[in-house]
Amino acid sequence: MTNAPAAPPHADDDLFDEGTPLGVMPGTVRGARLIAGVAAAVGVVLIAITIALGTGGSLGALIAGYLPTFALIPLVLLFGRGGDLVRKATVGAAALAGLVSCTGILTGLPPGAVGIVANGAVAALLLRPSAQAWFTRER
């Protein structure tokens, strides 16, 4: 007799993440959705602060830096019913947003390193097997 804990239900299935029941969005997809939403919300707040302070010289660069992050929002809204093309488009947009964030490091404007980390996390979470299984499941 062994004292090893029993495997969670559906431990062999890539769709299940930390015991997520069938039909429930895995934690990797929910996490990617949350991170993308928070990153876009931070961008909106920073743009509003820049407008309120009247530093118009950097407003265009700030908006341009966040455009790829804002492009994630319509894709994130499709996570519940979208297919694998939505996942691939989101990974591509997140990778582009991460690259654009690199220019923030050079110019001193947001999103900078935070954008690289946030968008990299979105892409990494959506490349997990549980996320791929979620988007390729039968509907």
Q: Give the pLDDT confidence of 104-117 residue by residue, as tens digits.
A: 788 777 888 888 99
5 in a domain, yes or no? no
43 in a domain, yes or no? yes
**pLDDT tens, 38-68?**
999 998 988 888 788 876 567 777 788 889 8
103 in a domain, yes or no? yes
76 in a domain, yes or no? yes
What is the pLDDT, as a whole number, of residue 12?
Answer: 44
18 in a domain, yes or no? no
What is the pLDDT, as a whole number, of residue 2?
Answer: 59
Domain hosting residue 129, numbered range: 27-135
- The stretch 57-83 carries a mean pLDDT of 86
Q: Each residue of 13-22: b (16+ CB within 10 Å) or e? A: eebbbeebee
- Neighbouring C-alpha atoms within 13 Å toward the C-beta of 22: 8
22 in a domain, yes or no? no
Element (H, E) at 130: helix 129-135
Q: Are 103 and 67 in contact (CB under 8 A)?
A: no
128 in a domain, yes or no? yes
- Regarding pTM above 0.85, the answer is no
Give percent above pLDDT 70 in the chain.
82
